Amino acid sequence: MAAMGKNFSDFVARQHSALAVHAPTAGSAFPAPEAARFAALQQQWLESQHKLWQAFAQHKPGDEGVQPVAKAEPGDRRFRSPEWSKPYFDYLRQAYLINSAFVRDCVEATPVADGRAKDRMRYLSKQVIEALSPANFAATNPEFVETALRTEGESIRRGMENLVRDLQQGHISMSAPGAFEVGRNLAVTEGSVVFENELIQLIQYAPLTDKVYAKPLLIVPPCINKYYLMDLQPENSLVRFLVEQGITVFLISWRNPDAALANFTWDDYLRLGPLTALDVVRDISGDAQPNTMGFCVGGTLLASALAVACGRGEKPAASVTLLTTLLDFSDAGEIGCLVDEGMVAMREQTIGRGGLLPGRELAQTFSSLRPNDLIWNYVVGNYLKGETPPAFDILHWNCDSTNLPGPFLAWYLRNLYLENSLRVPGKLDMLGVKADLGKVDMPAYLLATSEDHIVPWTGAYLVRKLLGGETTFVLGASGHVAGVINPASKDKRSHWIGGDASTAEEWRANASEQPGSWWKHYIKWLTAKSGKKVAPPSRAGNAQYTVIEPAPGRYVKGSATN
């Protein structure tokens, strides 16, 4: 070991000399400050690797308490097992952490004029860094070795079975197979489908209270996922919570597009989706201005539909609630960095005039935003250790992917993500109306979540500058899904409330933290805008819109065809 350490020391010394000769200078490809920064990063990397090798070479049995050269982030669960403390695996772990930090630092030091290009570099480097973790490979993961020995190879057999199963179903299992089924233990809040067309079914939920508020609520979930995220199990169903508070809830269930819908456009989704649903809700409830709620792209569709209706001179709703929704796409997070002219042009050429984006591809893109948590965690658990993931309703929903019509997707990518035109009054023509979000002048409740990797909360905050009515902005803890589905009965996490501010950062600095779920804050806001309490309807629908079938309906059970 001592001889190996000396040899490595000689190697490091030679590398230091080489760097001194070849280090970037003012005349190199980078300006002098960046060149010096790269030279410093290389020096730091070599010194860290040298220290690590010396610690490894000089390690003696029984040595404990030696400070590591590199530490994993506090939230990194990959290396928590005691098996990683054994000298060989500890060396692999720390070398990986040093290399990862070096790559990230080089990306940050690279001068790039375009901020989106820098974000793309961060995204791509993250994919490589996290894919190359020693935890992901059998030969370099001590937990694989320990589990295989302990189970006498049974874990390897189970892992191969899991791999074959996931290859057949087309996605990595994130929840125990067979644990959940829509209509059995998911989406079980009592209700009826009271309307359907080629794109949506409209569900009206049965009352659970002796009195209900006069004004109903229409929910527009995202069309890129199935609606039952809003109605998971009874204890964490947002729909059930609202109904239990006396709200009459109507909800859109989007059809999973197949070849028959492959030519549907953004305008088709507005016309057949929220605008039609609003008409039906008005007819059934007798209320000319229902309250409305949209989640993620469902919120973008809802806001667009309201802008069309307001542009026609209508007063379509009493209020609008937007959950983790972008209307100004200038701060669109990691997804935004993936959308450039070349990518959009390719989609326009391949499926922009007809065709489908497979749901599987869309799901993989979203998983790649959090590869450790949503990809490699399950590769290691399912295949290397032969484990079955625990039953988790949100992750079951996450794997229940849906397709998207190509014309809809191409329009959405170009006009919103790439050109950011929705924020500009009159720039976009939707259903023959020059849309102006400033005309959407009803009160608005805006929820963002602090760790959202799909809709950055600072991007969601920009909605306040676009809508014409009074806005209430609330920041929830956690991420895009867990931050929204935070049931009041469990009352976990926190949320922040505050007043008006010119920037998101200014708002955050002055906001006050409130313990527990944002649902409690929201229901007070919503019921204040829901009218007086009245007797609940005696039946779902009315003479024109009769019950078609019980909830959850056929559309939510449709599987992806590609």
Q: What is the DSSP string of 127-163?
A: HHHHHT-GGGSGGG-HHHHHHHHHTTTHHHHHHHHHH
Interstrand relation of 512-515 and 494-497 (parallel, antiparallel or unpaired): antiparallel
pLDDT-based confidence at residue 35 (cuts at 50, 70, 90): confident
pLDDT-based confidence at residue 14 (cuts at 50, 70, 90): very low
What digits encode the pLDDT tens for the residues 502-550?
999 999 999 999 999 999 999 999 999 999 999 999 999 999 999 999 9
Identify any residues that bridge with 186 across adjacent strands, giving them in sequence order: 182
Q: Is residue 15's pLDDT more than 60? A: no
Q: Which of 296, 310, 337, 399 is catalytic?
A: 296
pLDDT value of position 63: 67
Q: Output Rg (C-alpha) for the chain, integer angstroms.
A: 27
pLDDT value of position 263: 98
pLDDT value of position 29: 60
What digits encode the pLDDT tens for the residues 406-445?
999 999 999 999 999 999 999 999 999 999 999 999 999 9
Q: Is residue 23's pLDDT more than 70? A: no
- Domain positions in the chain are 2-111, 191-355+408-557
Q: Which amino acid is at 272?
A: L
List the one residue out of 106, 102, 1 whose CA is nearest residue 57.
Answer: 1
Summarize the confidence of residues 303-312 as an average pLDDT.
98
pLDDT value of position 170: 87
Contact, 256 vs 263, CB < 8 A?
Answer: no
Identify any residues that bridge with 514 across adjacent strands, giving them in sequence order: 495
Contact, 322 vs 303, CB < 8 A?
Answer: yes
Please report, rounded to a whole number, the percentage of residues in the chain having pLDDT higher than 90: 84
Domain 191-355+408-557's class?
A: alpha beta
Q: Is residue 10's pLDDT more than 80? A: no
Report d(CA 353, CA 367) in Å as an integer: 27
The size of the chain, in residues, is 562
pLDDT-based confidence at residue 24 (cuts at 50, 70, 90): very low
What digits encode the pLDDT tens for the residues 184-227?
999 999 999 999 999 999 999 999 999 999 999 999 999 999 99
| DSSP conformation letters of 286-347 | --SS-EEEEETHHHHHHHHHHHHHHHTT----SEEEEES--SSGGG-HHHHHH--HHHHHHH
310 is catalytic: no
Measured over the CA atoms of residue 184, residue 557, residue 408 and residue 166, the dihedral's sign is: positive
pLDDT-based confidence at residue 30 (cuts at 50, 70, 90): low
